[in-house]
Chain A
Amino acid sequence: MAEAPEHAPKAAVPTGPVEPAPPADAVVPAFITSLQKGVAGSVAQLSLYLGDWTVIVPVSQLLQAMEHLRRAPECVFDYLSDLTATDWPPRPEGRFDVIYMLYSTRLRHRVRVKVKIAEDQPLPSVTGIWPAANWFEREVFDMFGVNFTGHPDRRRILMPEDWQGYPQRKDYPLEGPGELLMESPLDWLKLRQAREEADIE
């Protein structure tokens, strides 16, 4: 296999996901046109890739748009299939994408909703619309440090409660604290950074 050896220089860090616009002849499904009409300015960008529709929504419109997708008769997205995030550290317009995979058990269609937020930007919780979001949002908070407002129980879920750092972030080391955990269980991230800086000097 012609694979790059492990020590090869890493390719440039990508600055964002590829979100191709739908081709001109693509028929926009009714749930998207309904959203465009129902909540003005809620569709900042539209994307179609491999048959999956993605709607990118501004943070300010998120709750309104979600409420519309849940209730409107053309949408009825009653099932929150998944909620997750991706991390794009160098991206200027905000580091995280929070992604909602919605499904309608009645109309049997799917859509992906995305919001782009900065590192310390709060994001309204959708637990009021889909109770299923509770644990999903806790996991996104646990793994990425995304700050959900209005969440009923915002605690870490998979990692221990006193854990430092957010493991799924791209700048979090794969091996975790390693030996440093024994040395200083509370501030290993700071300690590690200090050591790395000392190494560079």
Chain B
Amino acid sequence: MFDTNELVINMGPQHPSTHGVLRVVLRLDGEKVVDAEVVIGYLHRGIEKLSENRNWTQIILLTDRMDYVAAATNNVGYCETVEKLMQIEVPRRARYVRTILCELQRIASHCLWVGTHAMDIGAMTVFLYAFRERELILDLFEEFCGARLTYNSMRIGGLPLDLPPGWDKKVLAFCDIMDSKIDEYETLLTHNRIWLERTKGVGVISGAEATALGMCGPALRGSGVARDVRKDEPYAAYDEMDFDIPVGTAGDTYDRYLVRMEEFRQSLRIIRQATQGLPEGPIVGKVPRLIKPAAGETYHAIESPKGELGYFIVSDGKSTNPYRFRVRPPSFCNLQALPRLVKGHLVADVVALIGSIDIVLGEVDR
């Protein structure tokens, strides 16, 4: 007679929809996932160890290589932590520009997410649309700092250089373009029958469970927990901005999708406010020539597109490099919840769920 044997299959590390070098070992009963084990570390470059042997300014460049689709956010997080450690006051103009860059970066990262996530599920068009708009943001970044992916766009105490003339007008023009494009993505997906079938009720997790598992960012907000570092522990110029935190109700893949779509609009709102109210003034605070924070330690978190990105830095006050450099990567914490999310779903849903927690392996493995 027929016997149901459990089947173990390997997904990744070279699999197109694992978004990098992620390996998931799935135990299947037919097409149902009984259990999943996530294997990471394929992209481990020892950024923490390396940073402990580089001086404080050299580390900015290393932070680019963690979440490489949101490099500017990583730079801001690191620079702010060092500024907190050295008690440097950052000029208001620099804080505003940081806010603009962070939000542009959030849109770029979400564009990449919506494109790849939709393509994983089978909607090819969205990918092409989203990358078209991401390109516009990369052009803005290129004009600001000369790079398109790993920006190295921050300095401890402020900005490396002032905005190019007319840049703010281009940003506002981009906002106008983007407004209609978000509606375009939504026309393709939000009420699409196939999309609804593939995402509704997939990977449901309650707010309490998501919090306990350490999930963060849109993945946590999709479960109805209004946790956002921008509101709870404001940094840069977020305390002067007016914006809402979208939260979901069901905690499934569809709600996580809706939360990110709304974040597009909120980001545009912040960019408009910050660009229109951009103050004049210096772009760098009072920074000593030799950066050498006094002995002490601190933890500082910012809201990266993926969630809470925290830096814990210990300075011994004697050497020109940090004694301990620790990154709290949001993707790492979201990925940890994957086995819990995929349990009981079909193999095809695993792909949808990996997309829905929006991970970048460079950050998971560091």
Interface residues of A (CB under 8 A from B): 1-4, 10-12, 14, 17-18, 20, 49-50, 52, 78-82, 84, 86-87, 99, 101, 105, 108, 110, 112, 130-132, 134-136, 143, 156-160, 167-168, 172, 174, 176
Contact = CB atoms under 8 A, between A and B. Distances in A.
A17 B297 contact: yes
A105 B296 contact: no
Interface in B195-215: 208, 211-214
B328 A101 contact: yes
B49 A101 contact: no
A14 B50 CA distance: 19
A168 B48 contact: yes
Given A110-B299, A131-B214, 5 more contacts: A52-B298, A81-B308, A101-B312, A130-B214, A167-B46
Nearest to B310: A82
B41 A157 contact: yes
B30 interface: no
A35 to B, nearest CB: 19
A81 B328 contact: yes
Contacts of B328: 81-82, 84, 101
Interface string B321-335: 001101010001100
B317 interface: yes
Contacts, number: 109
Contact of B44 (A105, A112, A159): A159
B168 interface: no
A174 B213 contact: no
B40 A132 contact: no
Q: Interface size class for chain B?
A: 35 or more
B312 to A, nearest CB: 6
Contacts of B296: 17-18, 20, 49-50
Nearest to B43: A158
A158 B41 contact: yes
A11 B292 CA distance: 13
A52 B16 CA distance: 43
A132 B213 CA distance: 4
B320 A82 contact: no
Given A49-B297, A158-B365, A86 B336 contact: no
B326 A82 contact: yes
A114 B125 CA distance: 50
B298 A79 contact: no
B1 interface: no
8 contacts: A4-B320, A11-B316, A50-B84, A52-B299, A82-B326, A84-B312, A110-B299, A174-B50
B106 interface: no
A19 to B, nearest CB: 8
A2 B292 CA distance: 12
A99 B313 CA distance: 12
B319 interface: yes
B332 A135 contact: yes
B319 A11 contact: yes
Contacts of A78: 208, 211-212
A17 B55 CA distance: 19
Contact of B40 (A136, A157, A167): A157
Interface string B74-89: 0000000000110100
Contacts of A80: 214
Contacts of A130: 212, 214
A129 to B, nearest CB: 9
Contacts of B227: 79, 105
A99 B324 CA distance: 12
Interface in B321-366: 323-324, 326, 328, 332-333, 336, 365-366
Contacts of B332: 135
Nearest to A82: B328
A134 B326 contact: no
B48 A50 contact: no
